[in-house]
Structure 1
Amino acid sequence: MGRTLDNIKIDEKGETEKYTPIGGGDKEGNYPARNREKHGEFLEKQFLSAWQLANELIKERVAVSAPVRDGVYLEIKGKQGYDLLTKSLEDIRQHVRLLNIKKDNNEVISATVYIPNKKRDFFLKKINKYIETEGEKVVSTIESINLAFVEALWIGDKESIPYKTPIWCEVWLRVEPNEDYNIIIDEFFELCKIEQIPFKDQKIFFPERIVLGVRADFEDLSKIIIFSSRIAEIRKMSTPVSFFYDLDNYEQKKWIGELSERIDTSNQSNTSICILDTGINNGHPLLEKVVNDKDKHAVETYMGVDDINGHGTKMAGIAVFFNLEEVFESKDIIEINHFLESVKIMNKPNDNKEELYGYITARAISLAEIENPDVNRSICMAITGKTNIEKDGRPSSWSGAIDSILSGVSDGERRLMLISAGNTNIDEISAAKDYMTAIINHSVEDPGQAWNAITVGAYTDKVLIEEPSYEEFTPLAERGAVSPFTSTSMMWDKKWPIKPEIVLEGGNVAFHQTEGYSEAEDLQLLTTNHKFLLDKPLTTIWATSSATAQASWIAANIQHKYPDLWPETVRALMVHSADWTSEMKHKILRNKAKPTRKDYRNLLRICGYGVPDLDRAIWSANNSVNMIIEDELNPFAKKPRASNFTMNEMHIHELPWPSDILLGLGETKVKMIVTLSYYIEPGPGEIGWKDKYRYPSCGLLFDVNNPGEDKDNFLKRISKAMRENEDDKNEVPNDSDRWVIGINNRNIGSIHKDIWEGTASELSQSNLIMVYPVTGWWKTRTNLKKHNSKIRYSLIVTIETTEVDIDLYTAIKTKIESKTLVKTTIEAL
């Protein structure tokens, strides 16, 4: 089911008083009323008719000795506005498989299933049981049964189905556990050869899925469905950049003119992306509506505000559109809800001396804020230091200045900033002869070690090369893997923060066995060219620059959706929504049945928390609920006549858990994701930056009560955790086996995320989250008298289950509303 529900903001602050749960229960599905006998007979006729049609199509192919499948694909639709009980459409033991579930714009849910020929009676028995005994509730939720054709298996816009002209498509093949992937691939490719359907020898592996590429039109796809019993989905492959990049000037301008007419900025909110770079040439027809002259600045007047290098204008194209290729291919109105600000901090990369970067950054941000003091702003910077890099993760003057700016030390204003991790170059890859070795050896560049900023690395989905000059080249990285251009914190001491925190599209490298490595346009991102009047208006961008621009687009969209959220919360949502691709886990966790904590530390140091998902950040679903808490505490105190400071406050949050529903789900697997985000103030003076425990003003950690652990025992356990630093060996007991990342991996830096996995019944008892402080220079530097300082924090908690028919969202909302009503009533007495 889609994510269409607003996230739940819990306004109640942390407390220690017991919260009495309000009873709830599992929500009955929204099923249509039926005349059982008539409806059952109608569906039986449809089923038999679909099966007969399938057999006729098979016979036609058998007559000409063409390959055929051993079963039937059916498209099963629900009634408009009602639920479809999809989980009952599958029976793995009978090899009846549910392939996909979709919901159209008319609120009609449809599912595609595959039934082997020998299991034809599986569904007929369900229908007959429904007619005779009212059993098989699933049948009452079905509106129609038809033979599935290309449209049923196509994922994405129906307008993109290649009815006439062949295009590159992704074919997702179903694989049973323990089957040999290579045998299935060979069989499918052999069938493609028989039907003369071009394919690429590139593959992506997911649990129970293989993704392959074929060049096909509607007729070819229809043949594939008839000859293969393994089709689960078909998707349009991304259009290669070279299609647009190789167009001549006139043709590019035609595409741009068409897109310009579809740009809608009428709902442009008080949200901006401030790009600190080489300037932006806002006369470009794709940028003129989102960059005003008054919002262009330069830290030095001699520079001018226009872009003579091109990098800033390239960043702008991605920050506005995220993926320009997809925008061109779409025919929809493109809503742009944010605007851009530009502050030119250099004429070209490495234009300034390194020791000035912290100052330049602060001044640049100030220029934008003076012009527009009251906007929701994300600051985007893809400029990094190339020399004198502290490769062990220690703060620099530049990263320290950024931490200070973002935490609002001087003015109390917190800020959101996204910084590129820096790039591994092709020469390093060539020297290492293995791109993974190259990126491991290339440390995140200064100021990417800033604790409060989001540092952005790169991954890639770019694997399609169609440029004639690169015909013999192959993509170096697999689809979904980290980009060969990214940098990592693998070489850092493990006490320093996880960097990068997230990864986004950074492009790929083309490789030839004899010619080596190359930067092919097809493996880069299309964007706006600063020389649009003299040259082609479109060009390309790649590496962590494009990734950082994409990250700023996500941040702006979160700020537009929830304009009142703190910067710390926006940062938390971006990290919270991120996940690792299957290829990342395959390459780094190496398909281990039970990866170790060290394996996950390596995954974090290379990929961060994965690829952020805007939909998961801003929307909840019935079975996946995001809860947001914003609070602050006073971590330290000074006793009368005492010279030292002591620990002071900790917060306990009792979440509005749908306990009855979770208990009803029993042994069903569920997941809880927790992310804690806060800003630290950097320790004043260079000496403080040599020691982790002195650099942050204060640290915060979270813990969750174990199943069967009540509030009193939980409080007693956590109070023992109030130690001088989080690396003390007397760690508190915890159900650590259920946490994916683990305490030692998550308790570093100023953003902490972990994933709890277990059964629903176990999670029903774990609804208490504690936030408590660990020491920092606020406590140890008593002469600075910071014991009364408060620290803000954002806490995001998601509870989710794969059971799509479970409504956790309504139960949680009801609990919150009921508690609010009780509180309001008591206060009125």
Structure 2
Amino acid sequence: MQSIRAIVEAGLRALWRSPATRFPADDGATHPWEIWLDRSGADHFIAHARGLGFQFEGGEGQAGGGRLEFPEDVVVVGHATHAQIAGAVRNLGIVKALAAPTVLSDYFDGMPPEEQAEWAQAMERLLQPPAAPDPRYITLLDRGVGLNHPLVRPHLDPADRHAAEPGWGLDDTHGHGTQLAGLALYGDLLPLIQSNLPVHVRHRLESAKIIPDAGQNPYHLLGDVVLKAINAVEANAERGRTFSMASTTDQDTPHDGAPTSWSSEMDQLAAGVSGNQRRQRLFVISAGNIRDQSRFEGADYLSVCDDLDHEIESPAQAWNSICVGAFTDKARLPAGSTGYPVAPMGDLSPSSRTASWSRHWPIKPDVVMEGGNWIQDGPPHPMNHAALSLLTTDHRYPRRSLTTTADTSAATALAAKAVTELWEYYPDLWPETVRAIFVSSARWTQQMKTHLPAHPSKGDFAKLFRRYGYGVPDLARAQRSAANALSLIVQDTIIPYRASATVGA
């Protein structure tokens, strides 16, 4: 046995590109490996390696989420034991080299401003003009979006910035909207900005400001502000839109899944019975974040997320919108870091809220997307960390070109990007049909399933639905469901009642 292990290690070391001192120990534990694959067989390797127990950064099925692409190679980071990586190399081939993973989001976040600008400008030169003559739009209902960033400006026309109130400025003075704009266009910039390939973005952006630069909207006007913003956007142009909103309120908590005035307005807008233009609309809404990190001190983080005090915030419980929670595949810290990630790879992001209800009201969240992780480094409580966050655009360009963001806001922007790309694939589908296909493509990760007992009951599954919804969407699966998978898709109107001459009928 010792000889066999020595032969296996020798074979892996022959593929190793990093310093010998960084070769992972053969201790039976799972280690991160940077895997260089032949481009032609990368998808085959990834699909079959998952069957061997691999976990890949970037998500299970999140198309392109964590891969770095070059003309002849695809680079992924896989977490596996020595035995698993050796079995994949032996049985699947395609592996050209192995290395120690290095660059994380904190590397770019900590760069001097002039270096950040060089990276952003280099990526700008790779941007390709959209091929579609009539592209779809993601409409960000947020704090506004800045126009000066070179990675945002090509996809956002000045005339496509609006506000709910005429007196509000259109710029992003806080940074949140521009951060989400970068994610809605490109996803996590970390793999993309390191690539040297052309960057194709088929959709464009609109901005509709729903939060003033100073102060907050009165509670009783939350729904009215969104209505005004949507009216302003739709009066400007006739377009196919995905509305993305990462704004919630705790003033309706607890609501136990019951409708509120804001969620009811969102339902009316989605159904097309509210707004100056009576049309059906597609919304993705964040589940809301847990803001008090001190609650996690010395506690199992999932029990804190599942606490009734941390229910999904209004208006995300709306029936007709896609409610987006957050999970994470970011569980790797820079070399030499102290502390450890709070959430294991493939599990719920610590900031993500969960449903407090299991009956009467719809399953929420509908799906979960990448929302980053926290680090626990001794007392007092866990904190955000740039390496465990998503890389995106900064509103302060050129003083800052890149920054990091996380939580359910980031997850919602990623969901808006994915569902818009699905709609581009099937442009004739109704908003509710696209919503259904997108949600039905979601699956729980293997890590999520570890919380089920050996013989789960209905109640055990209900707990996972309240935490993860239907799971992580798979864009490739969603596209196949209407193309070459066995699916029955019917778009029609049902009238469940008719007039009757009989009293009480």
TM-score by length of 1: 0.51
Shift of 1:431: 4.9
Hey, what does 1:551 align to over in structure 2?
A: 415
Question: Contact conserved, 1:392 with 1:493, CA < 8 A, in 2?
Answer: no
Q: CA deviation at 1:631?
A: 1.9
The one-letter code sitting in structure 1 at the alignment partner of 2:472 is V
User: Higher RCO, 1 or 2 (CA under 8 Å, sep at least 6)?
Assistant: 2
User: In 1, are the aligned partners of 2:305 and 2:352 still within 8 Å (CA)?
Assistant: yes
- Residue in 2 that maps onto 1:482: 348
Instruction: Please report how far the alpha carbon of residue 461 of structure 1 lies from its aligned counterpart in structure 2 after TM superposition.
Output: 0.5
Aligned to 2:429: 565
In structure 1, the residue matched to 2:329 is 461
Cα distance, 1:514 vs structure 2: 3.6
Alignment partners' CA distance in 1, 2:402 and 2:488: 41
For residues 113 and 386 of structure 1, the distance between their equivalents in structure 2, rounded to whole angstroms, comes to 44
1:555-704 to 2 correspondences below 5 Å: 555-586=419-450, 588-589=451-452, 592-619=453-480, 624-639=485-500, 641-645=501-505
- How far apart, in 1, do the equivalents of 2:41 and 2:74 lie? 20
Q: Give the residue type in structure 1 aligned to 2:7.
A: V
2:203 maps to 1:295 = no
Deviations 1:80-136 (A, max 9, x none): xxxxxxxxxxxxxxxxxxxxxx9965999899999xxxxxxxxxxxxxxxxxxxxxx
**1:422 Cα deviation from its structure 2 partner:** 0.2
- Structure 1 pair 426/475, CA: closer, same or farther in 2 (3 Å)? farther
Counterpart amino acid of residue 351 in structure 2: F
Q: Of 240, 244, 248, which aligns to 1:384?
A: 248
Aligned counterpart in structure 1 of residue 287 of structure 2, from 401, 421, 424: 421
Q: Distance in 2 between matches of 1:634 and 1:297?
A: 37
1:497 maps to 2:358: no
Query: Aligned letter for 1:606?
Result: R
Cα 1:432–1:632 shift into 2, 3 Å: farther
CA contact (8 A) 2:365 2:468 kept: yes
Does 1:258 pair with 2:122? yes
CA distance in 2, matches of 1:528, 1:256: 9
- C-alpha distance in structure 2 between counterparts of 1:553 and 1:604, whole Å: 23
Q: Distance in 1 between matches of 2:286 and 2:254?
A: 16
* CA distance in 1: counterparts of 2:79 and 2:349, whole angstroms: 23
| Pairwise CA distance, 1:238 | 8.5
- Please state how far the C-alpha of 1:438 moved relative to its aligned partner: 1.6
Greater C-alpha Rg: 1
- How has the CA–CA distance of structure 1 residues 71 and 387 changed in structure 2, closer, same or farther, with 3 Å as cutoff? same
8 Å CA contact retained: 1:391, 1:444: no
- Mapping 1:5-154, distance limit 5 Å: 67-69=6-8, 105=40
Counterpart of 1:275?
140
Q: Separation in 1 of the partners of 2:350 and 2:503? A: 53
Cα distance in structure 2, aligned partners of 1:564 and 1:249: 44
Task: Give the match for residue 448 of structure 1.
Answer: 316
Structure 1 pair 636–260 and aligned structure 2 pair: CA distance change class (3 A): same
Match for 2:267 among 403, 406, 422? 403
How many residues in Structure 1 have an aligned counterpart in Structure 2?
455
Q: Is the 8 A contact 1:638 1:644 kept in 2?
A: no
SS of the residue aligned with 2:258? coil
Do the aligned partners of residues 231 and 277 (structure 1) sit closer, same or farther apart at CA in structure 2, a change above 3 Å counting? same
- In the alignment, residue 449 of structure 1 is paired with which amino acid? Q
Aligned match of 2:55: none
Letter in 1 for 2:480: W
Structure 2 Cα separation of the partners of residues 526 and 109 of structure 1? 28
SS at match of 2:192: helix
Deviation per CA, 1:450-486: give whole Å up to 9, x if none: 1111110000011111176xx1111000000010010
Deviations 1:215-273 (Å, cap 9, x if unpaired)?
A: xxxxxxxxx84999899997885841012111111111111111101111331433000
**2:149, 2:397 within 8 Å by CA — same for their partners in 1?**
yes
Distance in 1 of aligned mates of 2:47 and 2:319: 47
Distance 1:108 1:456, change over 3 A: closer
Q: Superposition pairs for residues 774-789 of structure 1, below 5 Å? A: none
Contact preservation (8 Å) 1:399, 1:450: yes
- For 2:317, the aligned partner's letter is Q
CA distance in structure 2 between the partners assigned to 1:287 and 1:575 by the alignment? 28
Deviations 1:594-620 (A, max 9, x none): 311111111100000001111111135
Q: Does 1:512 align with 2:374?
A: no
AA aligned to 1:503 is V
State how 1:196-207 maps to structure 2 within 5 Å: none
Paired with 1:70 and 1:252, the residues of 2 have a C-alpha distance of 39
2:19 aligns to what?
A: none
- 1:677-826 alignment, distance < 5 Å: none
Partner residue in 1 for 2:193: 328
Instruction: Report the counterpart of residue 172 of structure 2 in structure 1.
Output: 307
Paired residues of 1:67 and 1:227 also in contact (CA < 8 A): no
State the 1:283 CA deviation. 1.4
Q: How many angstroms apart in 1 are the aligned matches of 2:189 and 2:122?
A: 13
Q: How many angstroms apart in 2 are the aligned matches of 1:157 and 1:632?
A: 44
The 3 A distance-change label for structure 1 pair 113 and 421 is closer
Distance 1:493 1:622 in 2: 33
Q: Is the 8 A contact 2:266 2:318 kept in 1?
A: yes
Counterpart for residue 106 of structure 2: 242
- Contact 1:528-1:537 within 8 A present in 2 as well: yes
Match of 1:541 in 2: 405
Residue 526 to residue 635, structure 1, CA distance change in 2 (3 Å): same
Unaligned runs of 5+ in 1: 1-60, 74-101, 115-154, 163-167, 174-187, 189-208, 211-223, 646-829
Which AA in structure 2 matches 1:260? E
Matched, 1:342 2:207: yes
Which structure is higher in strand share?
A: 1
In the alignment, is the contact (CA less than 8 A) between 2:45 and 2:92 conserved in 1? no
